[in-house]
Amino acid sequence: MFDYSQDFTTIDFRRHPELYRIGKGEQGVLMVQPYKGEILPHWKFKNPELAKISSTKIFALFESYLAVGDFPGADMARKFLQMGWTRARRYANHKGGRKYDKETGLELPRTEDPEKAAAAAIFRERYEAARDHLVYLRLKAEHRSKYESEEIPPEGLNPSGRGRDASPPSRGTRRSS
């Protein structure tokens, strides 16, 4: 789980990778330094040409982080690629990028901006290549094991409270008492 309680204004996550938490999706993408400062200036999705240049540069940063075993950097680059895809998709679907009406909270009518859709597709391809990269997956597993593994809760219970070796009942079956 991403830890939003940390002081992101003072932590250098390159020097302290043990403090970095992966989180879900794009969590923390605009908070974690020094990576935000290194990647954000290259993040552009206005049209396919800029998306191609941007995603190529960010993917090159991703690979350079992997080359030196810098998992937080690689994960942040992956998050920027994912955010390029999702934000371009948002603008492709909703002119101006606003999905919901400010007053009613209802979803606004969908539009289709082919230029933004093409930009989204470019970012999606790079995002998926990063997400599935074998070195990235290895470093992610190592990071989780080393820094994010859960401790066994008190009294040997798993987080569900069912006991250390208990597994949840299968869907559609009853457990006898």
Q: What is the pLDDT of residue 77?
A: 98
pLDDT digits (tens, 9 = 90+) for 149-174: 764 344 443 343 333 333 333 334 33
Q: What is the pLDDT of residue 172?
A: 40
Does 105 score more than 50 pLDDT? yes
> Mean pLDDT lowest for which of 38-42, 66-70, 143-147, 156-160?
156-160
Q: Is residue 164 classed as helix, strand or coil in its secondary structure?
A: coil
Tell me the C-alpha distance between 57 and 72, whole Å.
17
Q: For the whole prediction, is pTM greater than 0.75?
A: yes
In sequence order, the β-bridge partners of residue 100 are 107
Q: What is the pLDDT of residue 37?
A: 97
Instruction: Determine the straight-line distance between the first and last CA of the chain, rounded to whole angstroms.
Output: 34
